[in-house]
Amino acid sequence: MTELTKLSENIYRIRHWAGREPRESLLSRYGILNLKPDGEPERIRRDDGASVTLGNDGELVFSLSAGEDGGFDVRLPLDPGERLYGLGDESRDSIEKHGKIAVMKQENVRSYGPMPFLMSSRGWAVLVNCTYAHTFDVAATEPDLLRIYGDKGALDLIVFCGTDLKSALYLAGKVMGRPVMLPKGAYGLTFVLNEQTTDRTLLDDALRFRDRGIPCDVLGLEPSWMSKHYDASTEKGWDKKRFYLPHWQPENYYGSWSFLWNLHRMGYALSLWLCCNYDLFWKEEDDLFRDEEKTDPDAAIRDPHLAKGHRMDTVTKPGEDWFEHLKKFVDNGAEAFKLDGSEQVIPFPDRLWAGRYLDDEIRNLYPVVYAKQMKEGFEAHTGRRAMIYTVGVYPGMQKYAATWAGDTGNGPKVLLSLMNHAMCGHSNASFDMDMEKESIHFGFLAPWSQHLGWANWQYPWYCGGEAEERYRFYARLRSTLFPYLYSFAHVANRTSLPLLRPLSLTYQDTGRYDGVFNEYMLGDFLLVAALDHHVVLPEEDEWFDFFTGKKHTGPREFDNQPSGLRGGALFVRAGSILVRQEWTPSLRSSRPDALTVHVYPGKDTSFELYEDDYATYGYEKGEFAVTRMTLSGDELRILPREGAYPDMPEEFRYTVVWHREDGSEEQVPAGKDDGPDRAAVYRRP
């Protein structure tokens, strides 16, 4: 039987089975994928063949087959020269996927983030709605043929018929969800401290960041914060010798006798490391463990050991959600959680989840459900956004949490993992930064920034000298870029166009940049060259060197030798509106009233500056403000702010700086426009 459903304009669902109709995939059963049709569904069922034709011109012909006991096989002919992207962090060797055989199976370190999503330069994309391991053969076995197959699960394929890569991502975001907005401080620096940290050294390190003028917003504790190392139970508590809280106060105490009280006064959020192998699926099923079994009142069981059943799962508490035991730590002041790979990315081959699902159906999905319950639990308890960051990725993760590249350090392959996530619409991705200059450059110019101390002492002040100066330079640079970064995080949230964009996505009409693995666009206007000092400037644009102001015309290739405190190259596209603020020790505790608008002329362009309350999910209900800026020829126009959110301050005061081709710059005074848009006008000097 084949069933074709039109979910919305240009989005279709194909299901195909042999024998009895299969049950829903857990991705849709738990509401992780949005498969609710717009309006009355257009559904066609037929049993007269195993092929479906779709596409704007009927160019997509899917050949379908399914086994009586599960399993599926889909084949789609490809056009010569067609370019394909996606599949997430299943491997780290390419951006364009021709010749790839990719197994969608969550594996520790080897495959942190398989994403059964593939999109084409022709504008179509497919998403496999299946949590069992399955395989994409992207013209590897047969030229010009995409084959997707698995031994288990039902064939459930979502097809997106866009016109180009960006439109395919937009359509896919309607089903998979769009990247979540993180709390304000998450766009600054997250510094995860050494395991030997105590409450006193935590506060000393917090003070040292401030005294040394290094912006930082989140400080993280590793497993040693717990009384039992790597405690995956719901009985965990603070290590009272390391992290003292008054014993005469309740366990959820937060007050002036608490080290967290002092930490917050300095403008920090605290992140706690977690590991988990809890059975999260009882909550998803809404079918919690019941009361203990009732025995027959007429039966005389004299041995109490035989009066009750025994559960194999001794971690999960019957009837208690995982987040319940974390509420006291949130009340203490914890505002972020690092979900370590630990047991969430390794198999439990003999485990039965929620009393009904085997591990091979659960394993890919577990990290998503974990992040979902953490995000929703924190929101329900506090009314605020959580900074949840994790390693495992599968469809839907982008709407719940940020991720980092796991226990793989940094380097070219890590950058490829971020690029491949971007090609699936996942924006909030990062990695473990260290004190090497190339790593600092890349880390502070990632969608979010994390430094891992864990078992080392690579702190800026211990490295000293130029290393500390460089760290301070880049931390301040990132702080100044907050208005720009946050605005493009909003773009990702609205469109699924990620903050970090491979050149293949920015310049989607050509495959010339499919082999450029060390460069990416950060938003619309910034070009970052990371880890490798060879620079390729795309021929489609002209470029200003961010550090020197010198203008370059593409195409150009050269070896960049960073000087001074720089650890790599950074360029601004000619035809850019780059909005910055003064650096601040803490993003979360500052609210600037003035911004600087840097104009890099060359093409007409526009920019939308987004604001919201930076702390809640009110933006999902339209509680945000937008200031539109347009550059046309020699004129910049800043229009009045539109929209509103609670406690919105007065409009920003703007200073406009115009950049010239020779590297010089000049501040431009504002003029008034009496036209209907009431814009402030700044003309090129």
Residue 652 CA to residue 444 CA, distance in Å, equals: 25
CB contact at 8 A, 94 and 83? no
* 632: Cα within 13 Å, side-chain hemisphere: 5
pLDDT at residue 307, as a whole number: 55
How many beta carbons lie within 10 A of that of residue 43, not counting itself? 12
pLDDT at residue 313, as a whole number: 86
Whether a cis peptide bond, with omega within 30° of 0, leads into 555 is yes
Among residues 676, 638, 672, 642, the alpha carbon closest in space to that of 655 is found at 638
Please, which residues have CB within 8 angstroms of residue 430's CB and are 6 or more apart in sequence?
Answer: 389, 402, 403, 404, 405, 418, 443, 446, 447, 448, 449, 450
Please, which residues have CB within 8 angstroms of residue 277's CB and are 6 or more apart in sequence?
Answer: 232, 315, 342, 343, 344, 348
CB contact at 8 A, 115 and 103? no
SS3 of residue 591 by DSSP: coil
How many beta carbons lie within 10 A of that of residue 506, not counting itself? 20
Tell me the three-class secondary structure of 621-665, residue by residue: HCCEEEEEEEEECCEEEECCCEEECCCCCCCCEEEEEEECCECCE
Residue 475 CA to residue 445 CA, distance in Å, equals: 10
- CATH class in words for 2-176: mainly beta
**Which CATH code fits 184-404?**
3.20.20.80
CB contact at 8 A, 171 and 165? no
Torsion, Cα 111 117 120 122, to 10 degrees, reads -170
pLDDT at residue 294, as a whole number: 41
Residue with tokens 């702080």: 479
Residue 268 CA to residue 185 CA, distance in Å, equals: 8
Q: Domain residues of the chain, as ranges?
A: 2-176, 184-404, 500-683
CB contact at 8 A, 282 and 323? no
Segments in 253-404 forming alpha helices (H): 259-265, 281-285, 327-332, 359-362, 366-382
- The phi, psi pair for 599, rounded to 5°, reads -105, 125
Residue 681 CA to residue 217 CA, distance in Å, equals: 35
CB contact at 8 A, 399 and 178? yes
Q: How far is CA 189 from the centre of its chain?
A: 16
Residue 199 CA to residue 259 CA, distance in Å, equals: 6
Structure tokens at 351: 């485990």
* 500-683: CATH, from 3.30.590.10, 2.60.40.1180, 3.30.1120.10, 3.40.50.970: 2.60.40.1180
Largest CA distance in the chain: 97
CB contact at 8 A, 125 and 162? yes
SS3 of residue 567 by DSSP: coil
pLDDT at residue 306, as a whole number: 55
Residue 12 CA to residue 55 CA, distance in Å, equals: 10
Residue 136 CA to residue 53 CA, distance in Å, equals: 20
Among residues 385, 363, 442, the alpha carbon closest in space to that of 620 is found at 385
Mean pLDDT by 10 residues, the chain (685 residues): 95 94 94 93 82 88 92 96 96 96 93 96 98 98 97 97 98 98 98 97 98 98 96 96 95 96 97 97 70 44 58 86 97 97 91 93 97 98 97 97 94 96 98 96 98 94 96 98 98 98 97 97 98 94 96 93 94 98 96 96 97 98 98 95 96 96 91 82 93
CA distances from 279 to 129, 212, 314, 350, 386 (A): 22, 45, 10, 14, 22
Residue 324 CA to residue 21 CA, distance in Å, equals: 37
Q: In DSSP terms, which residues pair with 625 in a beta bridge?
A: 611, 643
Residue 213 CA to residue 209 CA, distance in Å, equals: 6
pLDDT at residue 308, as a whole number: 58
Tell me the three-class secondary structure of 411-476, residue by residue: CHHHHHHHHHHHCCCCCCEECEECCCHHHHHHHHCCCCEEEEEECCCCCHHHHCHHHHHHHHHHHH
Structure tokens at 480: 């100044």
Residue 418 one-letter amino acid: L
Tell me the three-class secondary structure of 507-559, residue by residue: CCCCCCCCCCCCEEEECCCEEEECCCCEEEECCCCEEEECCCCEEEECCEEEE
DSSP-derived secondary structure letter, 256? T
